Structure 1
């Protein structure tokens, strides 16, 4: 082809956007051969491989894109959306090994510390419920207290404990959402999509998403994944009524709520509250 990277990607996107993924793939492949750190090319090629049903290649490319540019939400979102498909095809995930909770290497120096206001915070990425999730960690100390390394290390261990609770309690969170009638709301949103017949079955379609109603509790639980998480430990409790506050935004695959997230908070003693839709 003998073209520069930008023109290669642009031409590849023309084929990708028209649905001709096999013709698009070589353009992204050549772009990667020119610059093997070009995150977008990995994302677009991973997208093509997914549509071409070459699932292991797709997952590998999507995760390479994430590793190269963690600020680009597209690869992360597309990976998460298709993770159940990748798992059902026995694909191996490098991110799942590197970013699982047991392997998290949160360091004291990762925290931005402001002793004048007793605040420390950092951002991490972690695999929860098989999905790559951006997570913020924040500590607010009591008045006149200050941070030292040993204190922050203790908080790091506590953060990991709360992350493990989230990982191990998908069913509890799903049950709380169901009790708040989120399945009913999901079905209402799904019914606002285009109705059609596929293989003799009435379904609702929105973009790439296909909704089959009614939604069972098992299907709803399986569809859940974290969009983002914030965990705050507040020792002075001036801002919150709870020492621990976990704020999670949860999405579904298929996307029942058309880009909106369900907002869930978890307070002391892991009390779960549902706060409706956000976004």
Structure 2
């Protein structure tokens, strides 16, 4: 059993992670830490044995937790202290645990345009910073000003937009930084106009994506010159059930770049489906699909 520092937040051992993910699959964390605030997290990281693996889990919207569980400590930034959103003029500051959709709504209320696209992303600000999240023609890099976080040694680091080196769904910032807060800059607009654009994005998402299913969002990044959903569809995988060790997983009939757990799928079913499709698409088209969904833990 790993030695863990004293904390003010919540520290759970052998905690099942499936309830914390949108796919509702996966094994347990050796330890799950939900820190009370940034100071609690920094103190914990400074005292933790650096040999203990650390994994950050947001709302679990874009991740497969493997059936064997996750070694070391899983950190989840959940609760009011991590989800604060404030506005000032044309800027928005949000905690890493704030839902992207709530940041979009807060921006609209303050009459700040430019962050409407966040209404279409089912995750948190921490994840958005890590992967330059975007949709419908806009990305995090278009509105981000700066962010700060903690290293796994508990030391604060500050990043301006240029430091991230953002490209499509990628950042050159060290992957082990735990983001705490981000500041964005939009443009002033009438709140009603911003809210109307958010409503349009929300309606479009509800009619084109299986958001009420156990899903993980977009499975694959779009290869240059291609749409992943078209490649998956043309390879014949839309709605086709695939099972490895459980009840099976499939790509949605509604959107063929969204995998879903239609019932009792295992993590192996879901990841196995993704790998089977990658191999099939490569064989048929010569195009290599790259995972957008993160896979963590032991098989």
What is the TM-score normalised by the length of structure 1?
Answer: 0.30
Higher relative contact order (CA 8 A, sep 6+): 2
What is the TM-score normalised by the length of structure 2?
Answer: 0.28
